Amino acid sequence: MNSDSTKWKDYELSVGLYKFYLAGVVKLNFFYYAITGAILSFHFSEDSPSISVFALLLPILLSIFLGLFFLYAVKLAQGLRRNIKERASKLGLDVFPECMVLVLICAIFGVSALGVGLSLLGYYCCA
């Protein structure tokens, strides 16, 4: 295999990973809010049993761990962004996908999930 072919394959793989990660992050965040919303709507309903306060443990733990995961993913996404930029430069491409979108989405989702988790933890401790 020649050098240009290898560079193109590496570039295509990196761009494919970027698209896969972006779609995965959005789907994971959608799943997270669906689960959290369902549990919270059950807990705050009028017919909710007093034991439902223990059901809050799942969204609390999910929020905190998912928030930390997303914030760690920011660092990893920056590495992918650098890789795509370098590969595009070596191939002489002027245009390439801007991966800062993935970095920002991971940061926003991470801060949001941590905020929800800490808020629920405060509510749980006071309930």
Please report the DSSP string for 32-95 in residue order.
Answer: HHHHHHHHHHHHTSTT--GGGGGGGHHHHHHHHHHHHHHHHHHHHHHHHHHHHHHHHHHTT-S-
**CA–CA dist 116, 93 (Å, integer):** 41
**CA–CA dist 60, 43 (Å, integer):** 13
Task: Give domain limits for the chain.
Answer: 3-126
- Position 81 scores a pLDDT of 93
Contact 86, 5 (CB under 8 A): no
- pTM equals 0.86
Q: What is the mean pLDDT of residues 24-41?
A: 95
Please identify which residue in the block is written with the tokens 């929800």: 116
**CA–CA dist 99, 80 (Å, integer):** 8
Contact 11, 91 (CB under 8 A): yes
- Position 55 scores a pLDDT of 86
pLDDT value at 1 more than 60: no
pLDDT digits (tens, 9 = 90+) for 81-122: 999 999 899 888 888 888 899 999 999 999 999 999 999 999
**Lowest pLDDT segment from 17-21, 43-47, 62-66:** 43-47
pLDDT bucket at 2, cuts 50 / 70 / 90:
low
